[in-house]
Amino acid sequence: MAEKIQQLESLVIRSLRRFRDRYFPDKVVEADLTVGDSGKEEQQYGSLDTLPVDVQFLIMTFLSPADLCHLGATSRYWRAMVRDPLLWRYFLLRDMPYWPSIDHVTIPHPDLLDAPLISEDESLDDREEGNEGIKLKFDYMSEYLKGCPSSRQQWLPTRPAYEVVTSFFQSLVPSSEPRYAMFGPGMEQLDVSLVTRLMHAPDILPVSGTPYRQINGIGSGISYMFNNQHKFNILTLYSTNRAERERARVQQESISNKLFTFEGNDDSGDPVCVPAPQVQQVCQVVDGFIYVANAELERGGEKSEGVQIRAVLNCSRGSTSKPLLVLSCISREEPETVRTPSTRSMCRTPCVDMAKRLGLPHLPNPWMVQDTVAESLSGLLDGISWLLRCSGVKLY
């Protein structure tokens, strides 16, 4: 990936240079006219416009998406430069591994990631400046702004004033708390137990009790309080008993998963599995699912993960409407003294890669992948917030 990004960087600079030399040979834009001391209009040239293209590109790499859009609004020259498709494809490939979350709406188009680095219709110098009629196969700028977390936050709705009164009256009416089934190898393979940390983190998610609703072979789960206002219930589904899980974790061995029954392979060679009867019962009564994936590179990545997720979703009633939250989990983060963006990507599987590994883009259900750390529970609240919103809980 690093080699591909470096190659794309040189293509971007070359494309920007050819475009500027062709349509802006004087290397400046039409200057704004201001009135000087003599009363006549004088031209003011922007210093950024006269810099070499590779320096301009370097400056743009340090700007946020919002700042790039603001830069494009300053002049005709910069409007054309910041809309270069190759430039936004470079940003997309460079930044995607560091995005802490991705979902079914914001994930880039699958064909976009595997497309060749450059084609005839993706270079700025192959179109006239200001021509709005050209249709590119992929709008890399839109794909980036759609998936970038900082841009997504700006699209979240603000809370209207009348909602304050509405929420007060709604709080007086008892409502059923959403129930979610949590399963996955990240609950059992990591050195730090996510479930144990979850039960002993009152400052993050206080435990509100154990409801009196039993499911044969499973139990009733544990209820938590989100934002001191919204209750929800989590049913934990382990693949086997605690002693076998601990032995397998220490010896780093695979264990027999008692949640599913494997029934051979299909025509494509993929394994076929059916949830156990008690798991099927859980799938029919819960409002959604939490899959804890092992994002540590040296441990995760079993082929059967996506098969198990599809089996669980298929046996639930109204499966296409039940959300799936994937907690892409590692045991602990690197110390801040040695943590950099590059080391962060090396110690965990990026969200986009996790979504592809689990086959999530092919699911009809709404889904989200959220980076999570078991020790600190960082990222957990963002994932729970998304899950509750998908279940109809109004959060602002």
Q: What is the pLDDT of residues 319-352, one digit of tens each?
A: 688 999 999 999 998 775 455 555 555 688 999 9
Does residue 190 sit within a domain? yes
Given a cut of 80, is residue 154 above it in pLDDT? no
CATH number for the domain including 323?
3.40.50.300
Mean pLDDT along residues 62-83: 90
pLDDT (0 to 100) of residue 35: 45
| CA–CA dist 347, 333 (Å, integer) | 8
Based on the fold, state whether residues 99 and 202 are members of the same structural domain: no
Residue 2 pLDDT grade (very low, low, confident, very high; cuts 50, 70, 90): confident
The reported pLDDT for the residue numbered 50 is 81
Average pLDDT over residues 61-69: 90
pLDDT on residue 234: 94
Sequence length of the chain is 396
Find the distance separating the first CA and the last CA of the chain, reported in whole Å.
38
Residues 227 and 317 in one domain: yes
Same domain? 111 vs 203: no
User: What does the pLDDT average to over 34-41?
Assistant: 47
pLDDT in tens, 206-250: 998 876 666 655 656 899 999 988 999 999 998 877 777 677 666
How much is the average pLDDT of 268-289?
A: 87
Same domain, 184 and 305: yes
Whether residue 273 sits in one domain with residue 141: no
Same domain, yes or no, for 140 and 215?
no
Mark whether 201 and 142 lie in a shared domain: no
241 and 387 together in one domain: yes
108 with 187, same domain: the answer is: no
Residue 4 lies in a domain: yes
Please give the pLDDT value at position 271.
Answer: 79
C-alpha triplet 207, 354, 151: angle, nearest 5°: 80
Mean pLDDT for 365-378 is 96
**318 and 257 part of one domain:** yes
Residue 34 phi/psi, 5° resolution? Answer: -125, 160
Contact status, residue 296 vs residue 328, Cβ threshold 8 Å: no
Q: Do the domain assignments include residue 125? A: no
Question: pLDDT at position 121, please?
Answer: 47
Average pLDDT, the chain: 79
Across 48-77, average pLDDT: 90
Instruction: Report, as an integer, the average pLDDT of 98-125.
Output: 73
- Say what the pLDDT of residue 49 is: 81
Q: Does some domain include residue 90?
A: yes
User: Rounded to 5 degrees, what angle do the CA atoms 83, 133, 51 make?
Assistant: 30
Q: How far is it, in rounded angstroms, from Cα 22 to Cα 104?
A: 40
User: Which DSSP letter does residue 97 get?
Assistant: G
Q: Residue 266 above 80 pLDDT?
A: no
Q: Domain check: are 150 and 178 in the same one?
A: no
* Predicted local distance difference test score (pLDDT) of residue 248: 64
In a domain, 42, yes or no: no
Over pLDDT 70: what percentage of the chain?
71
Q: Which domain holds residue 74?
A: 1-24+48-118+136-155
- Is residue 163 one of the residues assigned to a domain? no
DSSP β-ladder status, 367-373 and 207-209? unpaired
Contact 321, 356 (CB under 8 A): no
Considering its fold, how many domains does the chain have in total? Answer: 2
Extract the tokens encoding 106: 């914001």
User: Residue 235: its pLDDT value, please?
Assistant: 92
Residues 247 and 143 in one domain: no
Q: Evaluate if residue 47 carries a pLDDT over 60.
A: yes
Q: Is residue 225 part of a domain?
A: yes
Domain-located, residue 161: no
Helix (H) or strand (E) holding 102: strand 101-103
User: What pLDDT is stored for residue 184 in this prediction?
Assistant: 92
- What is the domain-level CATH number for residue 14? 1.20.1280.50
**pTM for this model (two decimals):** 0.82
